[in-house]
Structures are given as C-alpha cells and as structure tokens.
Amino acid sequence: MYTLSNVSFSYGKRTILDNIGFSMESGKCYALLGANGCGKSTLMTILAGSKKAAAGTLSFPDGTVCNLKTSGRSSLIGYVPQENPLINTLNGYDNLLLWYKGSGSELKKTIQSDLIQMLGIDSYLKRTVSKLSGGMKRRLSIAIGLINSPRILLLDEPSAALDLPCKQDIAKYLEEYNKKGGTILLTTHEEAELSLCDRYMILKNGHITEHEPGMPVDKLISLF
Amino acid sequence: MIAVRFFLLQFKLLIKRIPQMILVFLLVVFLALCTLFMLNRIYDKLSPTEKEKDANYIAVVCPDEDNTILKYAKDILDQVMGSASSLFMKNENDKEGGNKLLNMFAGTGDLLKFKFMEEDEALNAIKNNQILAVLYLGQDDLNKIQACQTAELKIIVRDDSEYIPVICVELVNSFARLLTAAQASSLAIYDIYTNTELDGSLYGAMYDIDMSNFSYAMHRNSVYQRVTVDFSTTNSPISFYTATALTFMLFLVISAFTPALSDYEPSFCKCFKTRGIGIVGFTIIRLVSFFVFQFVTLTAVYSLVYFAFDKYFNDIFNEYGLTNMLGLNLSYGKAIPIIAIFALFSSAYVMFIISLIKNSEESLMIFFMFAAGLMLLSGCIIPSAFFPATFRSIMTFLPAWYIHKLFLMIIEGVSITKAGMVTYGIVCSLLLAVSAVLINVIRLRTDSNYEK
C-alpha cells in the first residue's frame, strides 16, 4: 500500500492542497479528477518531485518514506507530464538515454523488456523527435517515465490530443502495466481512460474524496 | 549522472549545428576579406606622402578667453624657462614668442617640436597630414591646472600606428614634467588673484604616469585623481569602421550557435526537477556546455589558422598588404586565454539571446535588434565622444565596446595584453554570463508558473 499523508501546498495565500491524504494499492489504477485549476497537476508534480510541498509524506510498502518537501525521487516514481519532455533535435534513443539511470548498454537491454516493447517504439528510436507524430512522441514520453522501472507511474492526461487508435493502444498498455504490479495515478478528461481506473480521487477545494468507479458522468461532474 | 548526460547531449545538439556554423563562418570570412581588401586600397590612397611625413611637429591649441588664465600659464613657463615670453596664439607676436619658448624646450629633449596654432588651423593641418597631433588645452583644463586639479588632456592624432603610442606618451610625459618643474621650482607659487606668495608645501604634488592607459594623474594632499586621454576621437574613420564591421561580423558568427528554445518542450524543465536539478542547475549546465564547445572548436580553428597561415596564406596576404592591417601578433600560448575569454563571452551571449526568443524564426530578428542596439550603445557606430561623459563610463562594461576596442587595437598594432583589455574582457564576460543565467532562470520560472 502506498500512503500519501498530510500534503499541503499553497500559491501565496491561496491554498491548493489542504492536508490531503489517500492510499493506493499495488497493481491498481487511480484517477485524479477535478475541475480545471483545482490543483490536479500541482499534486502530480509534487508527487513526482518537480515541486516541493509545504508538508506531506509518501510511504511505500517496503517502509520507504519520501518527504514531499524535497525533490528528486525519480527512481521511485515515473512521471509523464501532459507536454512531452523531449528534446526535438535529438533522436528517440538519446532522449531515453538522457533520463536513464544506467549505462547505454544497459539501456539497450531495458528497451528489449516486455513493457517497453509493448509501446512499440523500436522502429523510430533512431528518428529525430521533431519528425515523430503526436502518438509516437506520447509513447516515447511514457517510455521515458517507465525506463527506470518506477513503482508508481504518474500520467497527466496521457491520451490528450491523440487519435482513437492511439488512445486504445495506450489504454492497453496501462492495463498491462497494472497487471505486472505497477501502480498508476492519472489525470484525465477521457471517459475511456476512466473505465480503466479502480478508484476515483476527486480534488475539490483542496480536499480529496474517494469514490467507486463506474458512476454516471452527470453524477461525477456534480462532485467537482 | 543526468547532469553529465545532459551536458554531453548538449554537445551533440551543438555539433549538429556545425554545418550551419561553417556556412556562416565562410560567409563572414569572405565578407571580412572583401572589406579589408577594399579598405586597404582606400587606406593606401589616404596615407601621407613621404614629404608630408617630414612634418612631424605638434600643434598646441589654447584659447585665451581669460586673461587670468593666460597670465597663470605664462607665469609658470616664465618660472620654468626664466624668460618672459608670451605664449598664446591670438596674434602673431604671441605665436612667435611661444614658438621660441618651445624650441628652447625641444632642446632639452623634454618635448617634441611644438607649434602654437589656432584651433581651426590645427584641425585642418591634421586632416591634411601636415602635423602629427593636436594637444588641446581647453578653458576648463587651464582652470583646473590653475586650481591644481587634474585636467583632461585631449589629444587628436593622425591615424598612423607607428606614431600614436610615441606621441601620446611623449605628450603626457612632457606635460607632466612641465607642471612638475613648475611646481617643484624654488620659486614661489603665486595666487594669481591676490598676487601673494603661497606656501609651496600646500601644493606638494606627485605625478604618476600610466603609459598603458595614457593617463595623467595628479596627486595633491592625498587626493588622487586620474584622468585618461580620450582616444575615442583619435582613431581615423577607416580604422574605426573597420573595427565596427568586424564586430558586427563576430556577432553574426556567434548567432549561428544560437539554438532555439523550441529545442525543449516546456515540461522538460519540470521533469528535470524530478531529478533534483532545478532551473538554475539546468541553465548553468547549458552555459558550461556552450562554453566548452566554443572553447574547443575555437581553439581547433585558431590552431589550424595559426599553423597553416605561414605556409599557405602569408604570401597572399602580404601581396595585398593585409598582414599589417590584421596585426596578428599574438603568440600561440598567449592566444589560448584570449580564446577562453571569447568563448565565455560568446556562450553567455548565446544564453542571453535564447532567453529572449521563443523559436528559431524569432532568433534572427532578436539577434539583429540586440546586436545593433548593443553596438550603438557601446559607441561602435557613433563614437563614444558624442555620448555624455557619465554614459561613456558605463559603456566600458558593455561587451561590444570591449570587442570593438580589441579589433581597433589589433588593427593599429597595439598590444592587447596591455591596457587592461584582458581584465576588461574577463569582467564583461562574467557579467554577461551572470546576467544570461539570471534572465534564463527568470524566463523558465515564469514559463513554468504560467502553466499553473
């Protein structure tokens, strides 16, 4: 069980996250939902280590505790932001190498692993990123998030602006990741992605409420 | 690990730009050679003839609008020379007296041959290469001398590299010795208003001459004032604008290194932070990678030019008289620190520019606006003499001023390791690097805050 506790964050005098906390089980997928500007991306970036919270901890099943007031926990948590974190003038392989913890030869082995293979990025790793389509860039970004085998994968609107086939592929991939024991926390506005989730976390006025999945959209929206 | 990887990948990005850089560099070299070739031809036509070169005297221009000042100056020279000669040039008798005085001085070896002239006559004479220089003692200068304050010596010289250092050193030395002699004489110093003898110890003066800056300083009762001869008006238009053209071409070459901000998606920095490297670290890594890349490539290019020059190009350059104008007189070892300073400057400049642009299409426009503005404010297009005095001091901290001065000194054969140019270069480059990092950090922070 991954446990998030007492997370607080403010922009100036405006409180975004007010002492929130929730738990996530291994191998499950959780949706972080809320109205625009409620703080979803802020919470994601705090968990990823890109922002520092005013307070809060994240506990791992093995007893590891991360203080969310510090940054730099990429070995534990993979983060795929909404905009692809790619260098356009480099090829896919160099972009992966930048974020990979190990050596180049170890990367080649990792790319051959099941999860990365599922993303189907082999065929365009040598192409410059600027020449890739949106879907290919997205898969590459997800590969970057997963390349260091993190325990939790954070995805910020993973299939936004992608075509239907691509959305389906990514959904399949996320299911596979869950099956292999990975935990996913994603933000989304797509119903198809909601159907993958085991639980909804709704963020409103700085507080989190947990809900069972499968409720009608109208009811869901009324909770925002 | 990610910092090292990012550093190396930056290198890879910069290496990808080499073909573009080579094209720009070749274009710039071609334009520079055409410019130098053309200017060399013009320079030949404007150079003084053998006969004109014999006219090696210096004009002294001194307005006599204030009889009190005249009397004071005359008194000083009277005390020194032991004769009562009139000096100033509003009438023929004064001129003759002054010339006689100066000829006596010339015999002592303290002064070059001086000749008093009216201002217009002196300026025409120097334009027509009839004299070497004009020493201009303005009204304020004489007031200051009278008050034992430091005066600014304005010297206008002919654009002849052989004479400039000699003339100005000699002028400053001689003038300082003149005043030293006047004040150190056993005769009393008179208060010219009350005509009473004053205690000479009140005017204990010490003169320090800093030849590298051609400055003259007067020390009076522990008050130290330094003045520097204003050389910005003393270069010929040809040298000045050759340096301006070369400065602009240098900025053009540097701009080829400018990668667009679109190289990175906005969320790139966000992910970088997940690795514990903040925006400041990200920016510094970029700056260091630019610097190392620039230093390595420039050293390689310089080595190629330096060792190949003698073998392949020297004869060609000599035939067209360009070697002298280029004034390449640095030893290989001494050039390396200069290259390092230049690499620091150009990498800081690149960082500065990319903090202002959003994409590669904007980069050319921003480059031209920034380079032109910087050169204008640094006195590269309009000489600094036309700017207010306060602004002239600020100018010396702008990188374009430094580069322009460097080119000017190379063209005129003045050693660039003197006159504090190396120190200037280091200070300018460091200031620009710090500014570039700060602006980049602010820009990246603003962009990431905007995404909230």
Q: How far is CA B435 from the centre of its chain?
A: 23
The pTM of this model reads: 0.60
Please enumerate residues of B whose Cβ is less than 8 A from a Cβ of A.
1-2, 5-6, 9, 12-13, 16, 259, 262-268, 270-271, 273-278, 451-452
Residue listed under structure tokens 């809060």:
A56
Distances (CA, A) of B73 to B79, B80, B107, B273, B281: 10, 11, 21, 71, 63
- Cβ–Cβ pairs < 8 A, chains A and B: 75
Angle at B327 between CA B322 and CA B333, to 5 degrees: 130
pLDDT at B204: 35
Give me the residue from B2, B259, B273 closest to A98, CB to CB.
Answer: B2
Give me the residue from B12, B263, B271 closest to A88, CB to CB.
Answer: B263
Contact by Cβ (8 Å): B357, B261: yes
Amino acid of residue B377: L
Could you tell me the pLDDT band of residue A154, with boundaries at 50, 70 and 90?
Answer: very high
pLDDT at B250: 78
pLDDT per residue as tens digits for the range A156-183:
888 877 778 888 888 888 888 888 888 9
Q: Which two tokens stand for residue A58?
A: 């994240």
pLDDT at B112: 42
Q: Report the C-alpha gap between B164 and B157 in whole angstroms.
A: 7
The share of chain A scoring above pLDDT 70, in percent, equals 99
pLDDT at B195: 41
Contact by Cβ (8 Å): B275, B196: no
pLDDT at A184: 92
Q: Report the C-alpha gap between A119 and B228 in whole angstroms.
A: 70
Residue, of A134 and B81, whose pLDDT is higher: A134
Highest mean predicted confidence (pLDDT) among A134-143, B196-205, B325-334, B346-355: A134-143
**Out of B62-71, B182-191, B373-382, least confident range:** B182-191
From chain B, the residues in CB contact with A77 under 8 A are: 274
pLDDT per residue as tens digits for the range B6-16:
788 777 777 77
DSSP line for B166-205: HHHHHHHHHHHHHHHHHHHSSSPEEETTTTEEE-GGGG-E
The whole-number average pLDDT for the span A44-66 is 86
The whole-number average pLDDT for the span B355-369 is 71
pLDDT beyond 80 at B64? no
pLDDT at A185: 93
Give the residue among B286, B289, B299 at the shortest CA–CA distance from B338.
B299
φ, ψ of residue B246 to 5 degrees: the values are -65, -35
From chain A, the residues in CB contact with B16 under 8 A are: 89
Q: Report the C-alpha gap between B183 and B218 in whole angstroms.
A: 12
Residue, of A206 and B420, whose pLDDT is higher: A206
Q: How far is CA B374 from the centre of its chain?
A: 15
- Please give the torsion angle defined by the CA atoms of residues A51, A55, A61 and A63, in that order, rounded to the nearest 10 degrees: 110
pLDDT beyond 50 at A110? yes
Residue, of B332 and A90, whose pLDDT is higher: A90
pLDDT beyond 80 at B48? no
From chain B, the residues in CB contact with A88 under 8 A are: 262-265
Please enumerate residues of A whose Cβ is less than 8 A from a Cβ of B.
11, 41-42, 45, 48-51, 71-74, 77, 79, 81-90, 94, 97-99, 101, 144
Q: Which residues pair with B205 in a beta bridge?
A: B220
Q: Which two tokens stand for residue B435?
A: 């500014």
Please give the residue of chain A at the shortest CA–CA distance from B268.
Answer: A85
Q: Report the C-alpha gap between B201 and B221 in whole angstroms.
A: 9
| Averaged pLDDT of chain A | 85
Nearest-CA distance from B298 to chain A in Å? Answer: 23
Give me the residue from A79, A84, A94 closest to B274, CB to CB.
Answer: A79
ipTM of the complex as predicted? 0.75
The whole-number average pLDDT for the span B63-76 is 47
pLDDT beyond 70 at B192? no
pLDDT at B198: 41
Residue listed under structure tokens 């100036």:
A12
A14, A44, A87: best mutation site toward chain B, by most B Cβ within 10 Å? A87
Q: Which residues pair with A24 in a beta bridge?
A: A2
Q: Report the C-alpha gap between A146 and B166 in whole angstroms.
A: 72
From chain B, the residues in CB contact with A87 under 8 A are: 9, 13, 263-264, 268
Burial group, residue B41, by CB count within 10 angstroms (0-12, 13-18, 19+): exposed
Residue, of A117 and A28, whose pLDDT is higher: A28
**Out of A179-183, B196-200, B336-340, least confident range:** B196-200
From chain B, the residues in CB contact with A144 under 8 A are: 271
Residue, of B85 and A28, whose pLDDT is higher: A28
Please give the residue of chain B at the shortest CA–CA distance from A144.
Answer: B271
Angle at A175 between CA A169 and CA A181, to 5 degrees: 140
pLDDT beyond 80 at B343? yes
Give me the residue from A81, A97, A101 closest to B271, CB to CB.
Answer: A81
Whether A71 sits inside 8 A of B271 (CB atoms) is no
From chain B, the residues in CB contact with A90 under 8 A are: 9, 12-13
Burial group, residue A205, by CB count within 10 angstroms (0-12, 13-18, 19+): exposed
Nearest-CA distance from B7 to chain A in Å? Answer: 10
pLDDT at A30: 92
pLDDT per residue as tens digits for the range B397-447:
777 887 887 777 666 655 555 556 667 777 778 888 888 888 888 877 776
pLDDT at A106: 83
CA within 13 Å, CB half, A182? 24
Amino acid of residue A172: K
pLDDT at B316: 58
